[in-house]
Amino acid sequence: MRHSLPHAPQFYVTAPQPCPYLHGRAERKLFTALAGDSANELNNTLSRQGFRRSQNVLYRPSCESCVACMSARIRVSEFTPSRTQRRVSRKNDHLRRLATSAWATEEQYDLFRAYLDQRHADGGMADMDIFEFAAMIEETPVRTRVIEYRTAPSKTADPAQPGSDRLAAVCLTDVLDDGLSLVYSFYDPALEASSLGTHIILDHIELARSAGLPFVYLGYWVPGSRKMDYKARFAALEIYKGGVWQPIGDPALHSSDIHPLSIDPIVEQVARITLPQNRR
């Protein structure tokens, strides 16, 4: 189904599918294409309204009977790590960060496959081959970086020996005008005890701080989903709810049991979307 505004991008809605986060529910997405000279500006503008990027598409959940998925971001200037998060940083201080262009490698794909096979073997990406992986990484019309985290070789290590410079984690990151957006991340499942997912977020907070960017966008937080609980553990977290960004407060107070009659029609949702000012 297509929806549009005068002189604006075309918006489409997907057919309902089983929700990957809440059992027994169906998800539906509102999306638009991301292309052309104005791609960066559109990505910036819609990201501030709860949209996320996947390759050359911007999307936002628009389910018929639920508004549980809420975009989440961290206010960098107000963030203070917890004691547990400080331990995670110390545990991973041997990793070195390498920021590269959005270019996929076989080494990244091997790590990606190991991550999926161990943690998301029944997920939507389980059958992704190396060509689809390359498309996920490389098909981006906006400012995107691949952030690699590698084990730093010791001074006595032989660089020709396996493990002397090991890829531990990867994050596909968009650079917005007001923050860093973590599009997708994965890590070595053999290093699960190192809490690399948390380390990636903590490191992006420091990256944003050093660049003077106010936010780190984490994707969607879903109350009631165990997969998303970790996001609520970060201080200075705010969510996009009811058309505004607001502090998350007590996560338990955000009910995901929304009555279907409270969901606005797609046409009204599209009408409220703010677009870049210079679009004609």
Domains defined along the chain, listed by start: 2-71+237-271 (no CATH), 76-219 (3.40.630.30)
Q: What pLDDT does residue 123 have?
A: 61
65, pLDDT greater than 50: yes
22 vs 187, which has greater pLDDT? Answer: 187
Q: What pLDDT does residue 146 have?
A: 98
Q: What pLDDT does residue 280 have?
A: 44
Residues 37-61: pLDDT tens digits? 899 999 999 999 999 999 999 999 9
pTM exceeding the 0.95 threshold for the entire prediction: no
Q: What pLDDT does residue 267 have?
A: 87
Name 134's Cβ contacts closer than 8 Å, sequence gap at least 6.
Answer: 104, 109
Sole residue written with tokens 């997912």: 197
Residues 260-272: pLDDT tens digits? 566 788 888 889 9
Q: Which has the closest alpha carbon to 170: 197, 195, 209?
A: 197
14-23, 150-159, 186-195, 228-237: which has the minimum mean pLDDT?
150-159
257, pLDDT greater than 80: no
Q: What pLDDT does residue 9 have?
A: 86
66-70, 162-166, 175-179: which has the minimum mean pLDDT?
162-166
159, pLDDT greater than 70: no
Distances (CA, A) of 32 to 54, 78, 118, 226, 253: 11, 33, 32, 29, 32
Name 230's Cβ contacts closer than 8 Å, sequence gap at least 6.
Answer: 197, 198
Can you tell me the mean pLDDT for 11-26?
88
First-to-final CA distance of the chain? 24
Q: Which has the closest alpha carbon to 51: 227, 220, 229?
A: 220
What token pair was written down for 168? 């531990």
Give the per-residue SS3 of 188-225.
CHHHHHHCHHHHHHHHHHHHHHHHCCCEEEEEEECCCC
